[in-house]
Amino acid sequence: MNLERVSNEDKLELCRKYYLGGFALLPFLWLVNVVWFFREAFVAPPYGEQPLIRRYVRRSALGLGLWGVGLGAWVGVFQTQRAQWGPWGDYLAFTLPLGTP
């Protein structure tokens, strides 16, 4: 859908729903929220609902950043330490690389 043709209340409602939805372990939804509403929140000329949209976009970005840090840390730890973990590493692994680690 094109945001240009949507009314401001609907934009706010959409942004808010995307923001709330992201709490269901959905950082990708927050990413979509940030990218999609970035122009609306920060670049477009101000209108009534813009401060609220800005708030949601900022919070989505914050949540996204936290998720990114956490996920990055976990993946980094897993990839480098998996071989040393013994059986736990294998239980957690979805695919195991062939050959010597």
Partner 1 sequence: MTELSAHLPQFQHGQLTENFPDNHLSNTNDSCERRRHDNSERRRNDNPDSETNGQPQNIQQVVEHDEDEDEELTLKYGAKHVIMLFVPVTLCMVVVVATIKSVSFYTRKDGQLIYTPFTEETETVGQRALNSILNAAIMISVIIVMTILLVVLYKYRCYKVIHGWLIISSLLLLFFFSFIYLGEVFKTYNVAMDYITVALMIWNFGVVGMICIHWKGPLRLQQAYLIMISALMALVFIKYLPEWTAWLILAVISVYDLVAVLCPKGPLRMLVETAQERNETLFPALIYSSTMIWLVNMAEEDPEAQRKASKNSAYDKQAPANQARNEDAEADDGGFSQEWQQQRDNRIGPIESTPESRAAVQALPSNSQTSEDPEERGVKLGLGDFIFYSVLVGKASATASGDWNTTLACFVAILIGLCLTLLLLAIFKKALPALPISITFGLVFYFATDNLVQPFMDQLAFHQFYI
Is residue 96 near partner 1 by the rule CB under 8 A?
yes
Distance of CA 32 to the CA centre of its chain: 7
Candidates 26, 44, 52, 61; binder of partner 1 (CB under 8 A) is 26
Q: How far apart are the first and last CA of the chain?
A: 47
* Number of neighbours of residue 6 by Cβ within 10 angstroms: 14
Q: Give the range of 22-30, 42-50, 56-64 binding partner 1 by CB under 8 A.
A: 22-30
Q: Name the site residues for partner 1 (rule: CB under 8 A).
A: 1-2, 5-7, 10, 14, 21, 24-29, 32, 35-36, 71, 74-75, 78-79, 82, 92-99
